[in-house]
Structure 1
Amino acid sequence: MTTTSSFPSEKTTLSYWMGEADRPLAKHRSTEELPEEVDILIIGSGLSGAGAAFNLLVEYGTDKSVMLLEARDVCSGATGRNGGHMRSYYYLKQDEYVKNFGEEVAADLCMFEHYELDKIEELTKKYDIDYNFKRRRAFHAYEDEEAAATGQRDYDAFVKNPFIPQDVKDSVNVVYGEEAQKEYNTVKLGGFTPASSLWPYKLVTGLLKVALEKGLNLQTNTPVRELDLLEDKTWLVKTPRGSVRAKKVIATTNAYTRAILPEFNDKITPLKGVVSHLKSESGKSLDVNMIHLFSGEDDYISVCHDGSLIIGGGGETYEESPNKEMMVDCLDDSFFPDETGKYFVDYPTRNYKSLANEKFVNDYTWTGCRGYSYDEFPFVGDLSEFGRPNLYVSAGFSGHGMPRVFSCAAYVSELAIGKNPTVKVPAPFKVSAERMNKE
């Protein structure tokens, strides 16, 4: 059942976010035919692509023509298939970051994500975008001594970092022993961080609606098959519906980047994830008011606006063949291993003391394709230095895009219109010769 295609599959699984939302933009085409020429062409309609369009036309008020091409229906990629939460790392990975980059860059990585929560909330309030946003706490559960030791080192590095403001440090706390085990039997250490739950599909379509009012040309079910550089350093963007000449191109293609930019073939690897929606059989709202992440299994559980649950992970079910080939380096999101789907059915009763006697209805289980870079940092920036003039990329978010992609899209949008960047993207995110030439 594996596929070697680097393009989005025609058939897909249906996520809860798409299945339960109004979808007036799903197959939207602003014009019946594609224009012959456009100033800026964006590829991909997830939060990255929608963020680029929104920033160009709304926040920056460019008078340039902007078109967005989507291979399938609107927001049918990773953003429309994720776990419905935005949670920044805060202390997570800080020990590694300090060792690799120093305290200042480690702080940059932390604060970039911290500010993203506020930025998204403020923007959506300003433009009256309803996407079931709610502030919550994330609880990172460490279930064995080795994982707990890693968590402790990360927290210590976070607290000691002089470049991280004290109020941000105060927003994070770690608990031990009996206090950490109030809800779980096996937790050795637990870390609480600020987070939010949201409806990602509604967020993207809300941003696109505002951008459409400002002149965005949105074309769905129009896959980009090839990019040809012309003599005048513009791009001929080829699709099954015809070609468009674009002065600038922004590729927000994440897991699918290698399909049109083959130089990323060894830099961004597709890895599918599986997510499931469960609700109480009795219909009651469940009292799980946090996003819980289990370090050992790399699982997470989040609560929706109506008290139902979103559960993602199940990595232990596809570590070996043949399930591994269905998930790793595979871009077909129309299937997932049966074993992985079954993993979620009684997940809450297995892991929560308070839900041990609850019965659940599992109405949606789906998969989506994430793009993992070799160093787990996204590739963000200008590709001119690498033989791609007037082409910008924001991709490879390694399963941690929600607190990063919008501002990264804002950054490449600034580059595309020749604006002096105001977005301070962390150095490890930026496209560089060292990262592009690494084998």
Structure 2
Amino acid sequence: MSHRLLQDPGLPVANPTTSYWQTPPNLDVLDIQSPSLPEERDVVILGSGITGLSVSWWLTQLSDSLSISVLDARQICSGATGRNGGRINCTAVQDYAKYRKIFGKEKAVQIVRFELAHFNAIYEFAKEAGANVLERSEVRRVGAVSAVFSQEKLLELKRMLEDFELAFPDLKGEWKIVDRTEAVEVYKIANAHGALVGKAGAAWPYRMVTSVFANLQSKFADRFSLEANTPAISVDRQGTGDYPYNVVTPRGIIKAKHVVHLQNPASGFPKRSNSSWSFLIDDVLDYATQSPTTGHIVIGGGETNGKAEVLGIPSDAEEDILALSHLGGILPAAFGVSQWGHEVESKTRIAASWTGILCNSLDKVPMVGMLTQKLLDRPAGNLESAEWISSGYGGYGMVNAFLCGKNLAHMIARVDLDGNESLPEAYYITPERIGMLQRILKKVLNSRQEHARALL
């Protein structure tokens, strides 16, 4: 496992599984390329998921002159954004408990408010981003039900909610605990001992991202381009000129002022996952969302925390047979035969299955900002010209990526951003944080496998 954690994830595999969200594909941008690569760009963005879209969108809104190219090693939006569960769901009560243990109360409150800001931010963006984007992307409010299947877990949820309401008095009443009777009679989860009930959001991320990218390509054709199937083989800095970075691809070299690294799963420490309700059974977390148009239920999870076999696997080409078996049975197990019905022999209810890659930081929160010299094997930049990153969402990209991208765009454009949409202090790349992460990594690499898993 230590070897896998240190190895370069490399380029994304060429034959990924196809997710439910990516069918049908958006042919307007799927394999789009310029006839020839631009020679120079103010900003080159590596990655065409939701963070890449956010950075692109906000840079075009903040400046009427910046030139931008978005590169992807595969088809547009073929990575994590096109493979997730479609939930814009901040598990606020549980997240506050988790982050308070790691960072203390003040920073934990910042993180949770930032996560909670995502639904409104994405909803308003989808309304403004072009005709029919909101309708096509199905951004909507949904109820969130986090079911637990033991009395011990229910008591733990109650303690978490009490602590949460003390820290967020303005949100008191937004979440509530329901007992076993209500979980069964109202929410139809026959085998639950109780649940935490609140609000969340849901969307069709692939449609949103590809639709808006197509709009940007059309509206800003003179200074914006999408370059699918164009992997960045290397990035190096040559001198201090206007465009000091060479972004090397099989199609040629683009000279850039800024390079933005947004290939979340290809940034190091990937973790594979099979991708509204949540079901927590022992240490296995599953989540599900139902499409309002197709009626399909999309389930994600099926993997125990810290499972060593999937750590450091940078491929979304294969499926985990144990996870697939688990996901095929979790809904009848949770809802019970009385609600789910009997399985029909020879007729599967699984319409599609796929894998994706999660990228985790060692301190459980994203890394956002300018790449410093300690993180590079080439000269670091400055505010005039630099390399930037937003990565390490740990499977919670839908309540992190969009506003991380907005913050990154504001950093590059040197425009302040305030309020709940401003970046939490814990997300910034600082010398202190880098030193702490290096110490954690050293402990991981020097530990036996079971101890290393606990640290991760």
Question: Within 5 Å, which residues of 2 pair with 1:67-216?
Answer: 67-127=69-129, 128=131, 129=133, 130-161=136-167, 164=168, 166=170, 168-182=171-185, 183-212=188-217, 213-215=219-221, 216=224
Equivalent residues of 1:142, 1:188 under 8 A apart: yes
**Distance across 2 between alignment mates of 1:97 and 1:318:** 18
Question: Within 5 Å, which residues of 2 pair with 1:5-404?
Answer: 5-29=9-33, 31-57=34-60, 59-127=61-129, 128=131, 129=133, 130-161=136-167, 164=168, 166=170, 168-182=171-185, 183-212=188-217, 213-215=219-221, 216-232=224-240, 234-258=244-268, 269-275=269-275, 290-294=276-280, 296=282, 297-305=284-292, 306-316=294-304, 319=307, 324=309, 327-353=310-336, 354-357=339-342, 359=344, 360-384=348-372, 386=374, 387-389=379-381, 390-404=386-400
Deviations 1:200-221 (A, max 9, x none): 1011112212322224211000
Equivalent residues of 1:105, 1:426 under 8 A apart: yes
Q: Letter of the 1:274 partner, please give it.
A: N
* Structure 2 gap segments, 5+ residues each: 439-456
Secondary structure of the 1:361 match is coil
Give 1:95 shift: 2.6
**Distance across 2 between alignment mates of 1:385 and 1:169:** 44
The 3 A distance-change label for structure 1 pair 133 and 185 is same
Deviations 1:40-65 (A, max 9, x none): 111100001111111111x3244110
Superposed CA RMSD: 2.2
The 3 A distance-change label for structure 1 pair 293 and 214 is farther
Q: Letter of the 2:286 partner, please give it.
A: D
Give 1:184 shift: 3.0
Equivalent residues of 2:192, 2:334 under 8 A apart: no
| Residues 1:424 and 2:409 are matched in the alignment | no
Secondary structure of the 1:345 match is helix
**Distance across 2 between alignment mates of 1:80 and 1:221:** 16
**Distance across 2 between alignment mates of 1:228 and 1:38:** 15
Deviations 1:297-339 (A, max 9, x none): 111121112211111111159946xxx2xx3211111102223
**Distance across 1 between alignment mates of 2:59 and 2:109:** 28
**Distance across 2 between alignment mates of 1:145 and 1:244:** 58
Residue range with higher mean Cα deviation, 372-381 or 61-70: 61-70
Structure with greater helix percent: 2
Give 1:381 shift: 0.8
Deviations 1:102-134 (A, max 9, x none): 433222112111121011111211233120222
Equivalent residues of 1:138, 1:293 under 8 A apart: no
Equivalent residues of 2:279, 2:334 under 8 A apart: no
Question: Under a length normalisation based on structure 2, what TM-score does the superposition of the two structures give?
Answer: 0.83
**Distance across 1 between alignment mates of 2:305 and 2:280:** 15
Secondary structure of the 1:119 match is helix
**Distance across 1 between alignment mates of 2:391 and 2:8:** 20
**Distance across 2 between alignment mates of 1:229 and 1:203:** 34
Equivalent residues of 1:87, 1:195 under 8 A apart: yes
Equivalent residues of 1:4, 1:330 under 8 A apart: no
The 3 A distance-change label for structure 1 pair 433 and 317 is closer
Secondary structure of the 1:364 match is coil
Residue range with higher mean Cα deviation, 111-120 or 391-400: 111-120
Give 1:436 shift: 1.7
Secondary structure of the 2:154 match is helix
Q: Letter of the 1:77 partner, please give it.
A: G
Equivalent residues of 1:50, 1:208 under 8 A apart: yes
Secondary structure of the 1:92 match is helix
Deviations 1:409-436 (A, max 9, x none): 0111111122234441111111111222
**Distance across 2 between alignment mates of 1:55 and 1:63:** 13
Secondary structure of the 2:394 match is coil
Equivalent residues of 2:139, 2:203 under 8 A apart: yes
Equivalent residues of 2:9, 2:270 under 8 A apart: no
Secondary structure of the 1:298 match is strand
Secondary structure of the 1:93 match is helix
Secondary structure of the 2:207 match is helix
Give 1:358 shift: 5.5
Residue range with higher mean Cα deviation, 179-188 or 149-158: 179-188
Give 1:235 shift: 1.2
Figure out how many residues of one structure are paired with residues of the other and give that number: 404
The 3 A distance-change label for structure 1 pair 304 and 394 is same
